[in-house]
Amino acid sequence: MFITFFTELKSAGVPVSLREYLTLMEALDKDLAERSVEDFYYLARMSLVKDEGNLDKFDRVFGHVFKGLDLMSEVPTSEIPEEWLRKLAEKHLSEEEKAQIEALGGFEKLMETLQERLKEQQKRHQGGNKWIGTAGTSPFGAYGYNPEGVRIGQKESRHRRAVKVWDKREFKDLDDTQLLGTRNIQVALKRLRHFARTGAAEELDLDDTIRSTAHKGLLDIKMRAERHNAVKVLLFFDIGGSMDDHIRVCEELFSAARSEFKVMEHFYFHNCLYEYVWKENHRRHTERIDTMDVLHKYPADYKIIFVGDASMSPYEIAYPGGSVEHWNEEAGATWMQRITGLYRSAIWLNPVRQEHWGYTHSIQMLNELMDGRMYPMTVEGLTEGMKDLAR
């Protein structure tokens, strides 16, 4: 089993050596994993992975080789008593039943009601329509349905209707070594490239050498600076939640952008831009980057590309405190206006089919904030977006 794990890692491109494999075997002989699947996962990752860029590949191989083993997270989900949140059953409602459930009537009302429930509730509930619990129609809890609620104690999204998510969620970085299934993305991105000669004169200028030699009658070698891609790009990726459906095309875009743009910085955000972004998803709670610092560090000649499905609660864009994961002091719209006000060349690439944009209010809101510069993530959309940035 462990030999298979080792060979699968090498096949996936993770540079593991025999010495590292023997180190892992020695650690297992000393029972350092204490017969825990989760402890073995972290022990193997520490022993075999030297570069954080290979963590995603390691996770995929680990899940494939040790499929079926239950790997429970030790990260606490919330301060609400655990026994209240235990999942006993999932409630599946018909479309008619869903239509009968009414939202509480606005973001402020939802937050006020949650505070009241936390003060009043004294025991666990299941299947109800008021208290924090499971498998019901209450706005607060897990594994039920409500058109506008706060998700508490649920591992993943089901209906994608939550206004806020109580639990701490973990996202994964995009793999920038992902092999492209098509070169169409690269071809579209090339339209943004602008070459300039910068730096020291280290390259032979053949035409000028011939011209000068013919004029002087003696060999006169002329040098020139190398041509470099002068375009500078800031790439902002929406990550997690509904964007999990589009991770493949985002990795393809990320790989293409890495190869096409010499000067490129990338950042992650969730749903809408707020007061901080991050570079690595497994450190997003500890190594945040202030968005204002990004605006101060990178001058206005950078090109801005947002990548996201723009599908969220309208509160996340329009309201302070509307973020699904934290309490933002300023509305997402305020931060988007700061970006578009500073950087004249900015576009939003949306992986959702363009004919579906009209069904999601948040997509329309962000398209307006981008002054109509939202493009579908198709070859035609990428081409038009690059033309827009090149103006």
**Which of these, 223, 221, 226, 224, lies nearest to 209 by C-alpha position?**
221
Q: Are strands 289-290 and 276-277 parallel, antiparallel or unpaired?
A: antiparallel
Percentage of the chain modeled with pLDDT above 90: 26
Mean pLDDT, range 206-230, rounded to an integer:
78
Least confident of 104-113, 177-186, 245-254: 177-186
From the list 33, 104, 15, the residue with the least C-alpha distance to 69 is: 33
More confident residue, 383 or 260: 383
How far, in Å, CA of 30 to CA of 24, rounded? 10
Averaged pLDDT, 165-194: 58
Q: How far apart are CA 191 and CA 383, in angstroms?
A: 7
What angle is formed at CA 166 by the lines to CA 160 and CA 168, rounded to 5 degrees?
Answer: 95
What mean pLDDT value characterizes the chain?
Answer: 76
Residues 6+ apart with CB under 8 A from 59: 172
pLDDT: which is higher, 357 or 170: 357
Q: At residue 47, does pLDDT exceed 90?
A: no
Q: Can you give the pLDDT at residue 182?
A: 43
- pLDDT at residue 117 in the model: 65
**Which tens digit of pLDDT belongs to each residue from 221-238?**
887 755 555 788 999 999
> 158: burial class by Cβ within 10 Å (0-12, 13-18, 19+)?
middle
Strand blocks (E) in 215-281 = 223-229, 232-238, 263-269, 276-277
| 125 in Cβ contact with 132 (< 8 Å) | yes
Flag whether pLDDT at 216 surpasses 70.
yes
- SS3 category, 336: helix
Over 80: is that where the pLDDT of 123 sits?
A: no
Mean pLDDT of 237-259: 86
Please compute the mean of the pLDDT values over residues 97-125 and round it to a whole number.
Answer: 58
What was the pLDDT predicted at 105? 58
pLDDT at position 278: 93
Nearest partner of 310 among 248, 347, 357, judged by Cα: 357
SS3 label, residue 197: strand
Give the least confident one: 183-192, 199-208, 328-337. Answer: 183-192
Q: Hey, what are 198's tokens?
A: 């910068």
Determine the residue type at 231. Answer: V
The three-state secondary structure class of 277 is strand
Residue 276 pLDDT? 94
Does the pLDDT at position 349 exceed 80?
A: yes
* Amino acid of residue 116: E
Residue at token pair 């998803």: 281
Residue 294 CA to chain centroid, in angstroms? Answer: 17
What's the chain's Rg over C-alpha atoms? 26
Q: Of the segments 90-104, 140-154, 306-320, which one has the largest average pLDDT value? A: 306-320
Residues 367-376: tens digit of each pLDDT = 999 999 999 9
Provide the residue type at 193 as one letter: R
Tokens of 368: 């307006």
Average pLDDT on 254-262 reads 81
> Can you tell me whether residue 318 is helix, strand or coil?
helix
Which pLDDT value is given to residue 262?
A: 78
Q: Is 151:87 a contact under the CB 8 Å cutoff?
A: no
Quick one: average pLDDT of 351-359?
Answer: 92
Distance of CA 5 to the CA centre of its chain: 28
- DSSP line for 101-131: PPP-SSHHHHHHHHHHHHHH--S-EES-SSS
Torsion of CA 41, 43, 45, 48, to 10 degrees: -130
Whether the per-residue pLDDT at 73 is higher than 60: the answer is no
